[in-house]
């Protein structure tokens, strides 16, 4: 066990995966010599050489499309998209090619590729460098989507994504890269699709993921001072997501709050709320409340961005709303 940063945990996962399997390669802008825009791929070029660790041109569509072809021809490519906002340029390769290949070709070929991309705000990067667009990807049959919240999961979900035979999107919150946490000496992969109970409670269920997990935990601490014990569920995987764990929690607490940094409307939380309003309806004692960004692009100025991003106070208020 040692304390490492979130970004380092991903770095270690990449190293371990590339050591274990020579078919794993890395493609992305500035990932090789510069070691990655956020330093996540530092040292990989030296370790694995320029054939397997490649700086690419600013050609997001082609490198993602190339990953599809490479995956169909025996490699396990990992693509880094510098900011999730640029996933706009890769949608065809992801959605019409990677996601569909296995199904569309009658199961002949799987597409074992990983696309890593940082999302989220908190660094005043403005409207085109702060978006959380994971709901788009979760809506696409054939893709898997994970989003680690802890250092341990940064490692284990990355490993799981790389070893998975299907295309997996790994969403990393850019504000988490520097966060510290414990990593086991011989960490392992974790199954995709299983949520983690980050805190146990009996009064309300808070479902969240990524950087919002620690915010929700802070809210839970605050709530506890008022005698409200919240279950905090870290989804870890958004597609597939762990319906059973959420439902089990709801069955205990009868109250559901969902929180994410993405715009609330049509976000990940909508699906969770919709499912629980169906399969969990009889367990619900109160309206399902979501906490997400308001319906506007991520703004630049500090006053605006602070207001825009969900915080513990908003989560506390949402939980209390379900208790009233």
Partner 1 sequence: MGRTDPPSATSQLLELYRAMRLVREAEERLGALFADGEIPGFIHLSIGQEAVSVGVAAALQQHDTLASNHRGHGHAIAKGLDLDRFFLEILGKRDGYCRGRGGSMHVADMTVGMLGANGIVGAGLPIAVGSALAHKLRRTGHIAVVFFGDGAMAEGVLHESLNLAQLWTLPVLFVCENNGWSEFTEAARQLATDPQRMAAAYSMRALQVDGNDVVAVAAAARMAVAQIRAGEGPCLLECKTRRVRGHYEGDAQKYRDAGDIATALRNDPLVRCEVQAIAAGAPQETIDAIKAEIADRVDAAVATARSGAPPAPVDAFADVYSPTHELPS
Catalytically active residues, by annotation: 60, 129
Do 152 and 13 touch, CB atoms closer than 8 A?
no
Q: How far apart are CA 2 and CA 23, in angstroms?
A: 29
Q: Determine which residue in the list 266, 311, 314, 320 makes contact with its own copies, applying CB under 8 A.
A: 266
Asked if 210 is part of the footprint of its own copies (rule: CB under 8 A), the reply reads no
Q: What is the smallest separation between the CB atom of 133 and its own copies, expressed in angstroms?
A: 8
Asked if 165 is part of the footprint of its own copies (rule: CB under 8 A), the reply reads no
Q: What is the smallest separation between the CB atom of 71 and partner 1, expressed in angstroms?
A: 7
First to last CA, the chain: 43
- Give residues with Cβ within 8 angstroms of 309, minimum separation 6: 121, 122, 261, 293
- Give residues with Cβ within 8 angstroms of 40, minimum separation 6: 7, 10, 11, 14, 80, 116, 172, 177
Do 40 and 10 touch, CB atoms closer than 8 A?
yes
Which CB atom, from 55 or from 311, has the smaller least distance to partner 1? 55
Q: What is the smallest separation between the CB atom of 266 and its own copies, expressed in angstroms?
A: 4
Residue 2 burial class via C-beta count within 10 angstroms: exposed 0-12, middle 13-18, buried 19 and up: exposed
Q: Determine which residue in the list 26, 175, 246, 288 makes contact with its own copies, applying CB under 8 A.
A: 288
Asked if 107 is part of the footprint of its own copies (rule: CB under 8 A), the reply reads no
Q: How far is CA 129 from CA 125, 146, 258, in A?
A: 5, 20, 24
Residue among 26, 167, 161, 164 at smallest CA distance from 95: 167
Long-range contacts of 104-110 (CB under 8 A, 24+ apart): 109/72, 110/71, 110/165, 110/166
Residue among 98, 90, 74, 121 at smallest CA distance from 28: 90
Asked if 100 is part of the footprint of its own copies (rule: CB under 8 A), the reply reads yes
Which CB atom, from 130 or from 150, has the smaller least distance to its own copies? 130
Which 8-state DSSP code applies to residue 22? Answer: T
Q: What is the smallest separation between the CB atom of 233 and ligand TPP, expressed in angstroms?
A: 34
Stretch that binds its own copies, among 86-94, 158-166, 187-195, 309-317 (CB under 8 A): 86-94
Q: What is the smallest separation between the CB atom of 207 and partner 1, expressed in angstroms?
A: 23
Which CB atom, from 204 or from 312, has the smaller least distance to partner 1? 312
Nearest residue relative to ligand TPP (C-beta): 86
Q: How far apart are CA 209 and CA 149, in angstroms?
A: 6
Do 166 and 193 touch, CB atoms closer than 8 A?
no
Which CB atom, from 60 or from 134, has the smaller least distance to ligand TPP? 60
Asked if 278 is part of the footprint of its own copies (rule: CB under 8 A), the reply reads yes
Q: How many residues does the chain have?
A: 324
Do 167 and 113 touch, CB atoms closer than 8 A?
yes
Which CB atom, from 75 or from 291, has the smaller least distance to its own copies? 291
Stretch that binds its own copies, among 12-20, 25-33, 40-48, 126-134 (CB under 8 A): 126-134
**Structure token pair of residue 205:** 């269920």
Q: What is the smallest separation between the CB atom of 65 and ligand TPP, expressed in angstroms?
A: 12
Which partner in its own copies, partner 1, ligand TPP, none is near 222 (CB below 5 to 8 A by kind)? none
Asked if 279 is part of the footprint of its own copies (rule: CB under 8 A), the reply reads yes
| Residues found near its own copies in the complex (CB under 8 A) | 85-89, 91-92, 94-96, 99-100, 103-104, 126-128, 133, 135-136, 138-139, 141-142, 239, 262-263, 265-271, 273-274, 276-279, 281-282, 284, 286-290, 295-297, 299
């Amino acid at each position: 066990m040692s304390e490492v940063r979130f970004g380092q945990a991903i770095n270690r996962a990449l190293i371990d995966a590339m050591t274990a399997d020579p078919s794993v390669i890395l493609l992305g802008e500035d990932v090789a010599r510069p070691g990655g825009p956020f330093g996540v791929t530092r040292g990989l070029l030296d370790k694995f050489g320029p054939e397997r660790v490649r700086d690419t041109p600013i050609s997001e569509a082609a490198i993602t499309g190339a990953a599809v072809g490479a995956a169909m021809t025996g490699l396990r490519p990992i693509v880094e998209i510098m900011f999730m906002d640029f996933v706009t340029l890769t949608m065809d390769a992801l959605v019409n090619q990677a996601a569909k290949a296995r199904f569309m070709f009658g199961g002949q070929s799987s597409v074992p590729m990983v696309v890593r991309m940082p999302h989220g705000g908190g660094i005043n990067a403005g409207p085109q460098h702060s978006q959380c667009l994971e709901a788009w990807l979760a809506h696409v049959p054939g893709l898997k989507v994970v989003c680690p919240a802890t250092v341990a999961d940064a490692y284990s979900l990355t490993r799981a994504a790389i070893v998975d035979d299907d295309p997996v999107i790994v969403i990393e919150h850019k504000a988490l890269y520097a966060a510290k946490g414990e990593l086991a000496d011989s960490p392992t992969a974790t199954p995709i699709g299983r949520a983690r109970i980050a805190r146990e409670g009996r009064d309300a269920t808070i479902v969240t993921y990524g950087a919002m997990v620690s915010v929700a935990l802070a809210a839970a601490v605050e709530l506890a001072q008022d005698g409200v014990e919240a279950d905090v569920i870290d989804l870890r995987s958004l597609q597939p997501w762990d319906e059973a764990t959420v439902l089990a929690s709801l069955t205990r607490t009868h109250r559901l709050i969902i929180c994410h940094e993405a715009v609330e409307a049509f976000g990940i939380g909508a699906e969770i709320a919709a499912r629980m309003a169906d399969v969990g309806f009889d367990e619900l004692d109160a309206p399902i409340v979501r906490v997400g960004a308001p319906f506007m692009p991520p703004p630049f100025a500090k006053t605006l961005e602070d207001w825009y991003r969900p915080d513990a106070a908003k989560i506390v208020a949402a939980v209390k709303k379900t208790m009233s």
